[in-house]
A and B are shown apart, each in its own frame.
Chain A
Amino acid sequence: METLNTDISNYRNLLKHYIEIRDEQSLYGAEQLSKMFIKNNVPPEEIVNLHIQALEELYPDVPEYFRHSMNFLVEIMITYGIAYQENYSLREEQSQLKSEIAVAANMQETLLATTKPETEDLDIGVVSAPANQMSGDYYHFLEGKDNSIGIAIADVIGKGIPAALCMSMIKYSMDSLPEATMSPKTILKNLNRVVERNVDAGMFITMFYIQYLPAKNKIRYASAGHEPGFYYNAETKTFEEIKAKGLVLGVSPDADYREYERTINKGDMVVLLTDGVTECKQGDRFIETEEVLEVIEQYSDLPAQEMVNKVYKHFERMQNFQFRDDFTLLVFKKEV
């Protein structure tokens, strides 16, 4: 009650000053007062009432009709005030949700962490950035006893929290694969069964799995409906698409995956990505795959990690720093 009284005298004095002099300074005072009302969560009907009281104190002979009109305004403000308070508490709730999501995103990062293999054979670079707080993209490395290296890149159709939850499952399935030396087609077949059994019918995961076999200078790969990768031939300085056919994970319980193989030479490079990269937009236009490759080639002399960082920065800027989809780009170069 004490503070409210101060408000009334404050309001009255300011109002009086304004009515007498009509200067900008009083209006600036009104602005400050308004901010204070918001800060103290004062509802609009209370402010109108304050105005009525101040006016009556200043001009006891306020005409009757004017007094009635102000009471009418109070009535109008009541429901408005409720809406204002509802908004206020929804805002509070929203900021609480945001911080919970931030915690979840942090947790996801820890859950999905994978270690880049330390190997002299390959120079590996990877960048993965969520469009919102949580990512539906995923990549994972497996190291076999025979020095083979398995690399998976995956994308949940959809993004945000549901996609992110779905990815945690993939991570644990991959961690519990009986051995890291399993062939790409077997791994995809295994994962397909897990996804088909455990994920909602409307949710699908695409994955590209590639295995590097150092003893044979070969790569083996299979795809479950994922974006094709690219192979960079260092000698001819050209890119070619790495096509692989296969059904998206989770559609049919007994999908089989075809496996492909090719030789990889020193200096050659493999590029894996998710559709967040190929579906970048410049203005209203989707960029062409060639443009992605041009940017990659432009930085191809750099170490792999620096290279993907530069490419990411290039597209981040092109998208005005707001990706529409999760963006993951993984590159490895054969060093020996």
Chain B
Amino acid sequence: MDLQSCVKIEKEWDIVKARQLGRDISREIGFGTVDQARIATAISELARNVYLYADSGEICFEQTDSLEKKGLTIISTDTGPGIQNISQIMDDGYSTSGGLGAGLPGVKRLVDQFDIQSEEGKGTEVIALKWLR
């Protein structure tokens, strides 16, 4: 589990693949049903952003170990247009794809640590970490 496992996101079907892989890994790490579902939903949101807004990208997973706890890190990278105003899309109530998605604020709520970096014209990287409780 030291290696990264990745899923390329090109078609909508790849979102399901990413969810499946993420869920399998989180089950192996020891996450319960609810947290598995949370992780899968976070993956969905990240993968959907890649699928909708970027030409290509991938979702990668790696197990993260600290002294006392284990966790799962989800890394989403794409070569899309980038995000101009990150503060704005991280604001509750703002949603880019017509409303019903949980959006990036939703992903942030589902995990314990969340980081995003983006460069206009180059792409976006999101790193989300969920600790095993």
Do A and B assemble together? yes
Binding site for B on A (CB under 8 A): 45-46, 49, 52, 71, 74-75, 78-79, 82-83, 85-86, 89-90, 93
**22 A–B contact pairs at CB < 8 A?**
A45-B34, A49-B32, A49-B33, A49-B34, A52-B33, A71-B33, A71-B37, A74-B33, A74-B37, A78-B40, A78-B41, A79-B41, A79-B106, A82-B106, A82-B109, A83-B102, A85-B109, A86-B92, A86-B93, A86-B105, A86-B109, A90-B93
Closest 6 CB pairs of A and B: A82-B106, A82-B102, A78-B41, A49-B34, A75-B37, A86-B92
Alpha-carbon distance A46/B38, docked complex (angstroms): 11
- The CA-CA distance from A83 to B102 in the complex, in Å, is 7
Provide the B86-130 mask, 1 if CB < 8 A to any CB of A, else 0.
000000110000000010011001100000000000000000000
Interface of A (DSSP majority class): helix
Q: A49-B32, A74-B34, A78-B40 are in contact. List 10 more A-B contacts (CB 8 A).
A: A45-B34, A52-B33, A71-B37, A74-B33, A75-B37, A79-B41, A79-B102, A86-B105, A86-B109, A89-B92
Residue of A nearest to B110 (CB): A82
State how many residues of chain B have any CB contact under 8 Å with chain A: 14
CB-nearest residue of chain B relative to A80? B102
Give the CA-CA distance A89 to B90 in the complex, in Å.
Answer: 13
Please, which residues of chain B bring their CB within 8 A of the CB of A85? 109
The CA-CA distance from A74 to B32 in the complex, in Å, is 11
Note all chain A residues with C-beta closer than 8 A to B106. 79, 82, 86
Q: Whole-angstrom distance between the alpha carbons of A74 and B37 in the complex?
A: 7
A226–B12 Cα gap in the complex (Å)? 61
Hey, which chain A residues are within 8 Å of B102, CB to CB?
Answer: 79, 82-83
Contact at B33–A90, with CB atoms within 8 Å?
no
Min CB gap A192→B, angstroms:
39
What sequence of 0s and 1s flags, for each residue 25-65 of chain B, a beta carbon within 8 Å of any chain A beta carbon?
00000001110011011000000000000000000000000
* Pick from B34, B93, B109, B110: contact of A46, CB under 8 Å: B34
Inter-chain contacts of B33 with A (CB < 8 A): 49, 52, 71, 74
